[in-house]
Amino acid sequence: VIVARTRQELARARRDLGERTLGLVPTMGALHEGHLSLVDIARAEATAVAVSIFVNPLQFGPSEDFARYPRDEQRDLALLEARGTDLAFIPTVDEMYPRQPVITVTPGKMGDRLCGAFRPGHFEGVLTVVAKLFGLFRPDVAVFGQKDLQQLVLIRRMVQDLELGPTVRGAPIVREPDGLAMSSRNAYLSPEERRQAVGLHGALQRGHEVYAGGEKSAATVVRAMRDALAAFALLQPQYVEMVNPDTLERVERAEGGNVLALAVFCGRTRLIDNSVLP
Ligand code: PAF
């Protein structure tokens, strides 16, 4: 894997790819099997694969975990090498933001729902850095995980509304054997928190069960999910919702294609998960 640390090195490496098509996987590092599944998808869709590793300060709130977000470049690079990545871009904050950006990408009201309601400015930070990465890489395809559902929906919409170019692919959530969705933030969990974190997936499964039983009211499905979470002393829900997959608006009627989405504090760690109704 070729490592570029500056925009200039990246521009050179990008030029050297010549006519090859490029699949980009933007990440914040601390890579796990979920990220590596995105690399596999990028490789299936393009003839060269690039991964960016950048913990983006713009998308963290003042009381969030920017400083302690896990960073392990050597391990990340070994994993990317093993998975056949062609190019890794690992800029510093000063390299990525030589000046404080004045022009940013704002998500509008779709950014105020779900996670956006609790993380003001988060999606503006995400969209701004992703737009910059698209400008730097000019990828043909960009791959994002479905675990960050709102992020994926907003990036798709940004690419359409601003004609940014790449085809955006969403990748299925990769789970631990007990059902916990893989996340770099799982590393924060104590052993007891890790045991109880399975409750997020349990609540989604409960939602599926109630829906499969014929329930038509979204509120009733959501109530059953909240009851399932309440069995875990360390889990504190921030939101539990059934939403339309395109608009992220809350729905009243439980229907196939709608998404069950939740954000839950497990101790001090905020975890999210979601699942589409069949
Ligand atoms: O999903 C992430 O890791 C980040 O939000 C992303 C897309 C790399 C932007 O910083």
Q: Which of 24, 25, 28 to mutate to test the pocket of ligand 1 (most atoms within 8 A of CB)?
A: 28
pLDDT averaged per 10 residues in sequence order, the chain, 278 residues? 98 96 98 98 98 98 96 98 97 97 95 97 98 98 98 98 97 98 98 98 98 98 98 98 96 98 98 98
pLDDT the model gives residue 11: 98
Name the closest-CA residue to atom 8, ligand 1.
27
pLDDT the model gives residue 155: 98
Residue ranges in the chain assigned as alpha helix (H):
7-16, 33-45, 73-82, 93-96, 114-118, 122-137, 149-162, 191-196, 198-212, 218-230
pTM of the model: 0.97
pLDDT the model gives residue 56: 98
| In contact, 129 and 96? CB cutoff 8 Å | yes
Catalytic-role residue among 32, 35, 122, 208: 35
Q: Which of 53, 58, 59, 126 to mutate to test the pocket of ligand 1 (most atoms within 8 A of CB)?
A: 126
C-alpha 126 to ligand 1 mean position (Å):
6
Give 99: exposed, middle or buried? Use CB within 10 Å, 0-12, 13-18, 19+: exposed
pLDDT the model gives residue 203: 98
- How many whole angstroms separate alpha carbon 142 and alpha carbon 46? 10
Binding site membership of 27 for ligand 1 (Cβ less than 6 Å): yes
- How many whole angstroms separate alpha carbon 25 and alpha carbon 144? 7
pLDDT the model gives residue 205: 98
pLDDT the model gives residue 23: 98
Name the closest-CA residue to atom 6, ligand 1.
27
pLDDT the model gives residue 59: 98
Instruction: Based on the residue annotation, tell me whether 35 is a catalytic residue of this protein.
Output: yes
Binding site membership of 28 for ligand 1 (Cβ less than 6 Å): yes
pLDDT the model gives residue 90: 98
Residue 142, C-beta contacts closer than 8 angstroms, at least 6 positions apart: 23, 24, 25, 26, 130, 134, 155, 166, 167, 168, 169
Q: Which of 36, 69, 129 to mutate to test the pocket of ligand 1 (most atoms within 8 A of CB)?
A: 129
- How many whole angstroms separate alpha carbon 99 and alpha carbon 66? 19
Q: Which atom of ligand 1 is nearest to the CA of 52?
A: 8
Q: Which amino acid would we find at residue 20?
A: R
Binding site membership of 126 for ligand 1 (Cβ less than 6 Å): yes
